[in-house]
Amino acid sequence: MKARILRTIPSLRKALDSHRVDGKSIGLVPTMGCFHEGHLSLMRRARKKHDIVVVSLFVNPTQFGPSEDFEAYPRNEKRDIAMAKEVGVDYIFAPSVGAMYPQENVSVVSMHGMTDVLCGASRVGHFDGVMMIVCKLFNLVQPDESFFGQKDYQQCKVIQRMVTDLNMPVRVAMCPIVREPDGLAMSSRNTYLSDAERVRATILYRSLMDAKTMIKQGKCSVALITKKIEKVLSVGVSRIEYIEIRNADTLVAVRNIKNNPVVIAVAAKIGKTRLIDNIIVR
Amino acid sequence: MKARILRTIPSLRKALDSHRVDGKSIGLVPTMGCFHEGHLSLMRRARKKHDIVVVSLFVNPTQFGPSEDFEAYPRNEKRDIAMAKEVGVDYIFAPSVGAMYPQENVSVVSMHGMTDVLCGASRVGHFDGVMMIVCKLFNLVQPDESFFGQKDYQQCKVIQRMVTDLNMPVRVAMCPIVREPDGLAMSSRNTYLSDAERVRATILYRSLMDAKTMIKQGKCSVALITKKIEKVLSVGVSRIEYIEIRNADTLVAVRNIKNNPVVIAVAAKIGKTRLIDNIIVR
């Protein structure tokens, strides 16, 4: 099937209803565009598992804070569409802001606890925006399964919990981080980096690998691991936003990492660009 | 088909999935049980329009405030089931609180503005609870259409707006209030009334009819109509909670009733029982 580009909600509903009637399974990859190998890996996974693959391409204004980079967020729709077609998706849903938010959205979807930590601590309202747009996309596409990248670990966990709490009829797959050969986690925001910053940016991943090595050596103190990461990062970043070790499922802070799987997550600025990365340690 | 009683989410999903595969349309009537003619009218309407009718029977704790009547709320499941069977519904979904809320629900669904007025002004958190349970039921049953009574007018409008904002794939039908021969709107809470209170309770409806008469006579001042209702009510109720005339769709307060359809809504206590009623004036 040749990929179709859909711009409106009625055209999306109409296209997908026909497949649902035929009993086809639907996979959804929600994105903000500016595709890289990370996005493509999600699409390929969806392609492998489902009859119909929908990729949404929408830079959602409600998940950006007033001082954040909504306007500057990299957009390259023409290239994105070509890349998605190359992977063989069936539909590219690329609505305007007006199509997704035709009137003031007075409803709110939010979460206690899990959204207040990590990225949520500094990005106030970010996860409300994420939950809203994902809720809308799930209700519009009604996918059997949706695909998100582990790079946005907290986002994955928040969405999984929302789906559980609201009994949404969709599976949420968290897919591995795709990295550049030197370890930098792929991100649309990497395009902001200057050449010199790009070289320094690998330090996020290296700090996490050093933490992993410590743990393998049996050094399981959260305080010591955090200190190590801080030391490594401080060489190359302009500001550390957080270094956190938390229960991989509940995102509750842990004291030691022996009992449960944990996520080690970092956020830091390289120049003016905010980057995040994480690893799961079992 | 003989009505089946379902107690668990997996059994509900399994039963309905088979009908969905067959392309059957599904109507949902969400209730808190203690059925009266009002509930039955919703079920009959759903029965007429849909292949499969699901009635949910669940006294949702999260929509009751700490000082409200969750524990005392009238329950009579055996009678309810018999009545629903009589109407010919296909499924009665009557889960336990533990089945609906197996763990702490950290997600929140709420609304700005519309939930802060009328009943929302005194029943803090009530509509968050309503939105959450309706969200869950919609996601579990995935009905084509759901049926609510106009008696809970604000609830209908909040749910309709939530469905619009979140792009939920379900129609929300608001069905007429069913009244006792003397005009009292049917309500599960009417069972709280003593015989003497039951007689006095008709005053809510009579006050609304007096308002309607005024409007027919061309007296369209909100202030004067409100005053009239207040005068009528004060004879029989122990406390007036609100008398409000609002835009029928947005629930925004209006100054005069000539331009748009309005809802005239009252809430008052007869003895210790809180009753509500409303009429729409076009």
> What digits encode the pLDDT tens for the residues A266-277?
999 999 999 999
Alpha helices (runs of H) in chain B, residue ranges in sequence order: 9-21, 37-49, 77-87, 97-100, 119-122, 126-141, 153-165, 195-200, 203-216, 222-234
The CATH code for residues A4-175 is 3.40.50.620
The answer to whether A108 contacts B105, with C-beta atoms less than 8 Å apart, is no
A119 pLDDT higher than 90: yes
The answer to whether A107 contacts B107, with C-beta atoms less than 8 Å apart, is no
pLDDT at position B153, please?
Answer: 98
Structure ipTM over 0.85, yes or no: yes
In chain B, the residue whose alpha carbon lies closest to the alpha carbon of A169 is: B139
Residues of B in contact with A109 (CB under 8 A): 107-109, 166
pLDDT band at A282 (very low <50, low <70, confident <90, very high): confident
The answer to whether B105 contacts A165, with C-beta atoms less than 8 Å apart, is yes
* Cβ–Cβ contact A5 with B under 8 A: no
pLDDT at position A162, please?
Answer: 98
Interface contacts A/B by beta carbons within 8 Å? 73
Task: Indicate the domain borders of chain A.
Answer: 4-175, 188-276
Test mutation, A14, A166, A168, A251, chain B, max B CBs within 10 A? A166
Q: Say how far apart CA A270 and CA A198 lie, in whole Å.
A: 8
Range B188-276: architecture per CATH: 2-Layer Sandwich (3.30)
The answer to whether A107 contacts B105, with C-beta atoms less than 8 Å apart, is no
% of chain B at pLDDT higher than 90: 96
B259 pLDDT higher than 80: no
In chain B, the residue whose alpha carbon lies closest to the alpha carbon of A142 is: B169
Residues of B in contact with A110 (CB under 8 A): 107-108, 110
Q: How many angstroms away from the CA of A155 is the closest CA of chain B? A: 14
* Cβ–Cβ contact B165 with A under 8 A: yes
Domains A4-175 and A188-276 share a fold: no
Lowest mean pLDDT among A92-106, A154-168, A255-269, B47-61: A255-269
pLDDT at position B156, please?
Answer: 98
DSSP A224-249: HHHHHHHHHHHTT-SEEEEEEEEETT
Tell me which residues of B are annotated as active site.
Answer: 39
Phi and psi torsions of B32, nearest 5°: -105, 20
pLDDT at position B243, please?
Answer: 98
* Cβ–Cβ contact B110 with A under 8 A: yes
From the number of C-beta atoms within 10 Å of its C-beta (0-12, 13-18, 19+), residue A96 rates as exposed
pLDDT in tens, B40-49: 999 999 999 9
Residues 6+ apart with CB under 8 A from A54: A12, A16, A26, A27, A28, A29, A89, A90, A91, A92, A93, A141, A143
**Considering the entire predicted model, what is its pTM?**
0.97
Residues of A in contact with B164 (CB under 8 A): 103
Residues 193-232 of A with CB under 8 A from B: none
Query: Mean pLDDT throughout A10-22?
Result: 96
pLDDT at position A255, please?
Answer: 84
